[in-house]
Structure 1
Amino acid sequence: MQVRFSIRLQLLVLSLFLFAIPWLGYKYVWELEQYLRIGQEQTMIGTARAVATALHERPALFDSQSAYLQDVRPGTDLYAPPIEVPIQLDGRLQEWRAVSPLIQSYDDRNVVTWFTEQPLDVTLKAQHMVGRYEQYFYAMFEVTDDQVVFRAPNSLSVDRSDHLLIGMLDTQDTLHRYIISPYQPGWVNAYQLDDNPSRFRAVENALDIQGRWELTEKGYNIELRFPIDMTSGALAFALVDVDDQISRQKRYAVGTANPNQSDDLGTVVTPSPEIERILSGLRYADSRVWVIDKHKRVLARAGSIQSSPGLKAENSEQASKDWWNYIEQQWLLPLYYQILTRPPGDFVDELADAYALAGKDINQALSGQSDSLWRLTPDNKAVILSAAYPIFIGDSVMGAVVVEQTTNGIRTLRNRALEQLFHVILAVMLLGTFGLLMFAHRISSRIRTLRDNTEAVIDANGKIVGTLPQVKQGDEIGDLSRSFSAVLSRLQQYNSYLENMASRLSHELRTPIAVVRSSLDTLTQVQDASQQQVFLSRAQSGISRLSSILNSMSEATRLEQAISQEDRERFDAVSVISGCVEGYKHAYPRRKFSIKLSCDTAELCGSPDLIAQMLDKVIANAVEFSQPDSTIALHLWQENRQFKLSVTNTGPLLPRGMHEELTQSMVSVRNDTNTADGPPHLGLGLYIVSIIVSFHRGTIALQDLPDNTGVCVVIGLPLHKH
């Protein structure tokens, strides 16, 4: 079977070549970028390893930190991030907003001491964190308390009101306890308590611990400051709640840990100045370096990724005066960068002020293995690569070094590659366009040739005087040429039919004219009145036959004119056809009629009278070609949004090759057995049927029965769309 290579298929095959260009370019640039990323990952891991090497086996860097803790207790072990500016001790907590993500919440789950035999409802809640500025620790407390009770005037007891307990260890691991219990809101100082943890007796003022206690709508705020050298890193805070102004009974203490027990204190972590000095000495300018402890808290950092270009892409442009460089710089590159994106000069860095890190690479490094991670910035402008390497002291992982870098250099190199690729794509597209133009020229030439050949086979009078040349191409233009040849052949046959129509009409008219002439000639020679009446009747019969022939010839023309003025309406075709069949039973008593209804209703849009007239012609044709007492069967059904009607009769089969011609005008295949008294047959019945079917936008098909016992006419009419 020959494959049809159509024009569409040819264009599709040709277009596939153009589609392959961007795919090849994508594969090329993607492979290049993958190799560059792999190289950058290896470089970053090597940098992290070099920084970690400077920190290996140096336990003094971690002695004052919480890195030796096996587990960090959230809310108990505190992290004191560096603060950009000193805190103004006013109780408003404005300066703490910059580090607000590190603020811890304390509620009934953080009760460190009960002062009653039975637990009570905990109504005190607090927000707390510590920070570091130069040589001072700062602490804030945002407390929610339904009843704020200050010390009674002239009261020497410091623990019979709402107060803050502070416990810390000095460098000799000696526990020191302090209390803040003011008479009223305002400036506060701490009192140092005695060494007996079971009682709360102030022995002296601790003026190094100072701050502010301010009332709020929900309770009160506290801001404190004290020197870093007061503690070795072990620290605890507890807020004691007193609600009854009369009994002043202490209810419970909510805080980080119990300040009265040295072994229960938490550890406060601050970024290490010594590690920061080591990092600053590395002078690593194009990356950002972090050092974290094994609990992922930041100990030091250096550098910035905002100013680091990442993998450097040197500018290799040279001042060339040749024509190609001028076209590239002045025309092509400005066009390319309407699509390409240059690396951003700035982007959102969500870790710029981070005090704790997280990520798969960090988890892997803290388990003893180096790893890397790619991430996208929140504004989707830049891609950041981070590499982590563990810090070992002995066989233990005490922390990790994390190095970060952007991929701006890779993007620059990628753009350079795409610039060269676009040059190739542009050249190929120009060649492809030229090829398509040549292909279109070939098609247009074939179409013009077909037009000229078609005009040549028809003369100035519209007569077909030749045939179109045979073409072998299997595409659409070849099909069009063969279709034109077939149309011209049918037109030539129709013209021959019209030219021979005169002889057909003379054949139909000759008999009635001869009857009339012979009757009139004989009438003049016969004197008997009875015989004259016989010849008059015969002459009138001939005249009636002539009138019938003329009426039949003009019936199609009148019907076309009537159809053009017919109004469309919605009607049920099943009821119309069923009613007609009942009439046929009386009109043709020598035929049997059967009707099969496979649908109850069929709503059409058209003319019910025309449908009845169409059925009259089909039934008359079936009666004429069937034998007496035979059955004419009708079948009505719906199929694919169409109403179908079939009329079947037994009798002679259709002539070969005449299935489609029988619906044309003045085509008849009846035997020439008509007498002078018989009805004329001009071949207009099925032609009228085809006109009515076309008016209703339907189809008609004539076919022999499969068992060759008769003929079936199938008419399809579209159903009305609601």
Structure 2
Amino acid sequence: MFNLPIGLRTKVAILSLFLLCLPWLGYQYVWEMEKYLRHGQEKTLEGTTQALATALHERPKLFNNQASFLTQVKKGRDLYAYPLSGPIRLDGKRKDWQAYWHKALEYGESNQLYKRDPNQPLTVHFTHMVGKYAGYLYAFFEVRDPHVIYRGNNTLSIDKNDHLAIATLAPDGQFKRYIVSTMKDGWISAFKLPNDPKQTTPVVPEIKIQGQWRKTAQGYNIELRLPLAMVGSKLGFAIYDVNDANTKQLDAIVGTSAIDDVNKLGTVLVPSPEIEQIIKGMGHNHSRIWVLDNHGRVLARSGNLHDNQNNWARSFTKKPDQNLWQHLKQQYLHPLYSKILITPPKDFIDTLQDSTLLEGSYISTALTGQQGSGWRLTPDKKAVVLAAASPIWIDNNVMGVVVAEETTHGIRTLRNKALEQLFDMIITVMGMGTIALFIFASSISSRIRRLRDDAEQAIDSQGRITRHIIASSNRDEIGDLSRSLANIVSRLSQYNHYLENMSSRLSHELRTPVAVVRSSLEHLSLQPLAPTANKYVIRAQEGVNRLSMILNNMSEATRLEESIAQAETEIFPLSDVISGCIQGYQLTYPQHQFTLTMPSHAIFITGVPEYIAQLMDKLIANALEFSASNHPIAISIDTVDPTKSEPLEKGKSDRSKQIQISVFNQGPPLPDNMAEQIFESMVSVRHPEYLPPNTSQHHDKPHLGLGLYIARLITHFHHGHILAQDHTQVKTQQKGVEIQVKLPITEPIS
């Protein structure tokens, strides 16, 4: 794996990611809060139902006219009058009933009361429903009968044809029956029958029963209404079917219940206006209220779930003041929140909106005399509905149930608002915390980088102390490190100064004893000595000469360093200086061969010609020591292609345009890891394994490693660069060492 450097700011940025735990913790806290809010909503809703049930306790008159005292309710026999949104136009058409028609009931084989021939199929069926509006009971019958037989124009009989029979236990306790029979399509004719079920002769026409008879392709429709004052707690309808107009025999009877006996009648439940008035005031609590009988049938209803926001979210309905922060939230944060937090939808499907019968475990619990509650999910899974139920007591019997329903939209809205405020605060804290940590890390890293730069600038590439580190006054760890480094650099500077001046002091101190020894040997050589003693005098003189040469070399480097600081530069042709030097080397060392390759045009640089000549002296001297006499020393001068850069102004140097001086000698390669160190002071590689076999004539010369060190001093003075590398010549395939010196070119002033 790659070991990538990671800065302090990056590390602090990574550590600041732990701040992301704050939103998660806040989110979990709000979820826990929502659980408690739901529990509180459940208890509040149970309290609402209990308060309303208390208002209905021990009021039997509200339930006497209903089916609350029946042991069970049978669908189809026990009717429910649905509340209608408006009056029905009595035209015999189903148009006004279309919105409620999905609640209509089908009557057929299972509802036949009489059949003349059991072996013949039943030919009459009907679909039926009743509704209530403004003191009237409306009824609609869609009858499928292939043979419609009307009452004759000249007959007094009203039951020898297709007709509708109605029976009810009137509010006054009397069993009353009616027949709806007609001679043709149009306005119906209703007749009141005798109280005795065995008699069918009509007594008087009943003008309070109004409606229309309309023939259809499948049979006929009957649409009618009668006042609620005529209808008691029991009610039954029956269709009488006659198929032969000649015999006028009754073929079948299909009805909601038997109508010949008051005890066989079914019940009819008409939503109680009294109960509706009681719960109407509860509609302001933003809950939907149901009042059910002990069979789960709806007696009254108030409220709507779609308009329900309940009390939990009221505090957030007020719009906040529009300031800059609110504008930023609306512009940038809320679109982000809308993707994370789901806004409670208002267009959910409520299948119980027009229900007439409610079921559920909470209702069953309430019918046993205990409070109950439950949660349910709407069919489209967009809303969660909470329902609570409380029993209604009459004479220690549960006669009904009060049910209250609310959605959790209010709590979800409250949760979303709480999360938004929490996220706003967390984002602010995280932003400010991250910025503070980033500024803190930037301050620390900048101080460390500044200390690093001071340490690097305090020591040059040769290891010299060029400047001191300014100690920091801060009382922290970085300040302590700065003061420690400043103290270290100061002591190293003193030590380097001592080492740099040691050679000059040493050469100065040694010259006097060397001169004394030299003069003593000269005087001694003038005295007559034995042949054996004369030999030792000669060896002593050679040692003194060698010591004098060492002192001269040490003094040369010191003098050059001092003179470079005061040297005056000029523009001169480099090629002329180098070619002149090569000619001198050829005369000085006739046993060696020198080759020079350089451009035909003159190349100018800015510097000191004498220093360049001294540079070449050191390079050639190094090449001679590591090259055999029968191998030539190759010197080449190359320039950069001038088309790759813009022309220079006259008298200006350009370091991007350089001239390269290469000195190549065939011989042994460079020692390992010595390509840079050979240019250091007092570094010399003169081991026999690094010298050619025939260069023993140089072994007796003193070598202090100052030659290439002086070459580097001169190169740096001319703003150049020097390096040594193993090299193989392309043409001759000779292996050796090449020293390259690169110097910037100067455009001469004409």
Q: TM-score per shorter chain, which class?
A: 0.5 to 0.7
Taking the TM superposition and a 5 Å limit, the aligned residue runs for 1:475-494 are none
What aligned pairs does 1:184-583 form with structure 2 within 5 A after superposition?
184-282=184-282, 284-313=284-313, 314-315=315-316, 332-333=333-334, 335-337=336-338, 339-344=340-345, 347-378=348-379, 380-423=381-424, 425-426=426-427, 427-428=429-430
The corresponding residue for 1:531 is none
Aligned residue in 1 for 2:81? 80
Deviation at 1:16, TM superposition (A): 8.9
Query: 1:113–1:258: 8 Å Cα contact kept in structure 2?
Result: no
Q: 1:180 matched to which residue of 2?
A: 180
SS in 2 for 1:254: strand
Matched residue type, 2:130: V
> 3-state DSSP class of the match of 1:62?
helix
Which sits farther off after the overlay, 174-183 or 323-332? 323-332
RMSD of equivalent CA atoms: 4.1
2:27 and 2:419 in contact (8 A); partners too: no
Per-residue deviation, 1:121: 1.5
Partners in 1 of 2:673 and 2:160 — Cα distance?
A: 125
Instruction: Report the CA distance shift for 1:400/1:195 in structure 2 as closer, same or farther (over 3 A).
Output: closer
1:240 deviates by 1.2
Alignment gaps of 5+ in structure 1: 446-459, 468-722
> One-letter code of the match for 1:88?
R
State the 1:18 CA deviation.
6.9
- When residues 196 and 48 of structure 1 are mapped into structure 2, their CA distance, relative to the original with a 3 A threshold, is closer
Structure 2, unmatched stretches of 5+, are: 5-9, 450-661, 675-750
Q: Distance in 2 between matches of 1:101 and 1:464?
A: 104
How far residue 200 of structure 1 moved from its aligned partner, in angstroms, is: 2.4
Note the alpha carbon deviations across 1:509-549, whole angstroms, 9 max, x for none. Answer: xxxxxxxxxxxxxxxxxxxxxxxxxxxxxxxxxxxxxxxxx
Structure 1, 252-261 or 319-328: larger mean CA deviation: 319-328
Give the superposition deviation at 1:140. 0.7
Indicate the SS of the match to 1:299: strand
C-alpha distance 175-331 of structure 1, shift in aligned 2 (>3 A): closer
Return the alpha-carbon distance in structure 2 between the equivalents of residues 312 and 351 of structure 1. 23
Residue identity opposite 1:411 in structure 2: R
Deviations 1:395-425 (A, max 9, x none): 2211111112232331232123212432465
> Is the partner of 1:364 in helix, strand or coil?
helix
Matched with 1:128 is: 128
> Take 1:47 and 1:464, find their aligned partners in 2: how far apart are those partners?
99
Compared CA separation, residues 327 and 141, structure 1 to 2 (3 A):
closer
Give the whole-Å Cα distance in 2 for the aligned partners of 1:29 and 1:276: 39
- Match of 2:411, SS state, is helix
Instruction: Give the structure 2 partner of residue 162 of structure 1.
Output: 162
Q: Contact (CA 8 Å) 1:288, 1:303: kept in 2 or not? A: yes
8 Å Cα contact 1:40-1:311 kept in structure 2: no
- Separation in 2 of the partners of 1:16 and 1:319? 32
Q: Deviations over 1:7-60 (max 9, x none)?
A: 9xx99x979957755543332121010011111111110111000001111111
Identity %: 45
Structure 1 residues 26 and 151: CA distance shift in structure 2, 3 A: same
Give the CA deviation at 1:75.
0.7
Q: Deviations over 1:606-658 (max 9, x none)?
A: xxxxxxxxxxxxxxxxxxxxxxxxxxxxxxxxxxxxxxxxxxxxxxxxxxxxx
Q: Is the contact between residue 311 and residue 407 of structure 1 (CA under 8 Å) also seen in structure 2?
A: no
Give, in whole Å, the separation in 1 of the partners of 2:337 and 2:185: 67
Please say if 1:50 is aligned against 2:38. no
Supply the AA of the counterpart residue of 1:392: W
1:24 paired residue number: 25
Structure 1's 465 and 269: CA in aligned 2 closer, same or farther, altered over 3 A? farther
Greater CA drift, 101-110 or 410-419: 410-419
Check whether the contact 1:164–1:240 (CA below 8 A) recurs between aligned residues.
Answer: yes
Cα pair 2:285 2:310 within 8 Å, conserved: no
- In structure 2, relative to structure 1, the CA distance for the partners of 1:27 and 1:248 (3 Å cut) is same
Checking the alignment, whether the CA contact within 8 Å between 2:138 and 2:224 is kept in structure 1 is yes
| CA–CA distance in structure 1, aligned partners of residues 346 and 329 of structure 2 | 25
> Is the CA contact (8 Å cut-off) linking 1:391 and 1:398 kept in structure 2?
yes
1:464 and 1:256 map into 2 onto residues whose CA distance is 119
Q: Which moved more, 1:235-244 or 1:300-309?
A: 300-309
Separation in structure 1 between the aligned mates of residue 77 and residue 242 of structure 2, nearest angstrom? 23
The 3 A distance-change label for structure 1 pair 48 and 465 is farther
Aligned residue for 1:202, secondary structure, equals coil
Superimposed CA distance per residue, residues 561-591 of structure 1 (whole angstroms, 9 cap, x where no aligned partner): xxxxxxxxxxxxxxxxxxxxxxxxxxxxxxx
What is the TM-score normalised by the length of structure 1? 0.55
Q: Which amino acid aligns with 1:140?
A: F
Q: Once the two structures are superposed, what CA deviation does each residue of 1:361-397 show, in whole Å capped at 9, x if it has no partner?
A: 2222223221222334455544332211111112221
Q: In structure 2, what residue type is equivalent to 1:292?
A: L
CA distance in 2, matches of 1:187, 1:327: 70
CA 1:312–1:157 in structure 2 vs 1: closer, same or farther (change >3 Å)?
same
Query: In the superposition, relative to structure 1, how do residues 163 and 321 fare at CA in structure 2: closer, same or farther (>3 Å)?
Result: closer
CA distance in 1, matches of 2:223, 2:375: 40
CA gap 1:211/1:27 in 2 versus in 1, 3 angstroms: same
Structure number with bigger Rg:
2
Question: In 2, are the aligned partners of 1:145 and 1:219 still within 8 Å (CA)?
Answer: yes
- Paired residue secondary structure (1:232): coil
Aligned to 2:67: 66
Q: Does the Cα contact within 8 Å between 2:283 and 2:289 map onto a contact in 1?
A: no
Cα separation, partners in 2 of 1:286 and 1:147, compared to 1, 3 Å: same
Q: Which moved more, 1:195-204 or 1:68-77?
A: 195-204
Distance apart, 1:219 and its partner CA: 1.2
What is the CA distance between 1:265 and its match in structure 2? 0.7
Structure 2: how far apart are the matches of 1:307 and 1:79?
Answer: 26
Distance 1:196 1:6, change over 3 A: farther
| Conservation of the 8 A alpha-carbon contact between 2:42 and 2:373 | yes
Q: CA deviation at 1:114?
A: 3.3
Distance (Å, rounded) in 1 between the aligned partners of 2:426 and 2:75? 59
In structure 2, how many angstroms separate the alpha carbons of the residues matched to 1:139 and 1:145?
Answer: 19
Gap change, CA 1:429 and 1:109, over 3 Å in 2: farther
Matched residue count: 449
**Residue pair 1:291, 1:401 contacting (<8 A) in 2 also:** yes
* Cα shift readout 1:124-152 (whole Å, capped 9, x = no counterpart): 11111111111211111011112222223
Contact persistence 1:138–1:226 (CA under 8 A)? yes
Q: Distance in 1 between matches of 2:99 and 2:670?
A: 96
Alpha-carbon distance in structure 2 between the residues aligned to 1:416 and 1:63: 49
Q: Is the 8 A contact 1:84 1:133 kept in 2?
A: yes
Contact 2:23–2:423 at 8 Å: present in 1 too? no
Instruction: Evaluate the alpha carbon distance shift between residue 418 and residue 212 of structure 1 in structure 2; reply closer, same or farther with a 3 A threshold.
Output: same
Q: Which residue identity lines up with residue 52 of structure 1 in the other structure?
A: A
Q: Is the 8 A contact 1:120 1:251 kept in 2?
A: no
Structure 2 counterparts to residues 618-697 of structure 1, below 5 A: none
For the residue of structure 2 that corresponds to 1:211, the secondary structure is: strand
1:98 corresponds in structure 2 to 99
> 1:663 maps to what in 2?
none
Q: State the AA in 2 paired with 1:391.
A: I
Once structures 1 and 2 are overlaid, which stretch shifts more, 196-205 or 373-382?
373-382
- C-alpha separation in 2, matches of 1:50 and 1:44: 10
Mapped contact 1:193–1:202 kept (Cα < 8 A) = yes
Deviation at 1:74, TM superposition (A): 1.1
Return closer, same or farther for 1:22/1:166 CA change in 2, 3 Å cut-off.
Answer: same
Deviations 1:400-457 (A, max 9, x none): 111122323312321232124324653448867978x989x99xx9xxxxxxxxxxxx
Residue 253 of structure 1 and its aligned partner are, at CA, apart by 0.5
